[in-house]
Amino acid sequence: EAGVTQFPSHSVIEKGQTVTLRCDPISGHDNLYWYRRVMGKEIKFLLHFVKESKQDESGMPNNRFLAERTGGTYSTLKVQPAELEDSGVYFCASSRAPGLPSYNEQFFGPGTRLTVL
């Protein structure tokens, strides 16, 4: 079973530019989460999809961030326009549907390191 994959692994952009991060969850996982770790701080929740629907986006910092999960498969997280404070590592995780074994065990991808200059 392939794990969670994220693309790109690194991205360096200038302030004001747009960046799109992609996450491919484990096949069949209904739940998809985005998290972010700003250097020296905790890994913080951004949002949660159940299939293609946004279940909880309470962690999204502001309206410069837009997440989509068309068709309930892969997800994208777009930052437009990027600001210096958006730098950090963006993690994606996926898990099975509630009721299935280990339903709340989240499998994480390797993360995308975003640097905004």
Partner 1 sequence: AQKVTQAQTEISVVEKEDVTLDCVYETRDTTYYLFWYKQPPSGELVFLIRRNSFDEQNEISGRYSWNFQKSTSSFNFTITASQVVDSAVYFCALSEAMYSGAGSYQLTFGKGTKLSVIP
Per 3-state DSSP, the chain is made up of helix, strand and coil in percentages (nearest 5) of 5, 50, 45
- Using CB under 8 A as the binding rule, whether residue 111 contacts partner 1 is answered as yes
- Using CB under 8 A as the binding rule, whether residue 93 contacts partner 1 is answered as yes
3-state secondary structure (DSSP) of residue 70: helix
- Using CB under 8 A as the binding rule, whether residue 90 contacts partner 1 is answered as no
Identity of residue 56: D
- Using CB under 8 A as the binding rule, whether residue 3 contacts partner 1 is answered as yes
Query: Which residue, 14 or 56, is less far from partner 1 as judged by CB?
Result: 56
Q: What is the C-alpha separation between 72 and 42, in angstroms, rounded?
A: 28
Q: Shortest CA distance to 46 belongs to which of 112, 84, 93, 5?
A: 93
- Using CB under 8 A as the binding rule, whether residue 55 contacts partner 1 is answered as yes
- Stretch touching partner 1 by CB under 8 A, among 18-26, 71-79, 80-88, 89-97: 89-97
The DSSP symbol for 86 reads G
Contact residues toward partner 1 (CB under 8 A) are 3-4, 31, 33, 35, 40-45, 48, 55-56, 59, 89, 91, 93, 95, 98, 102-111
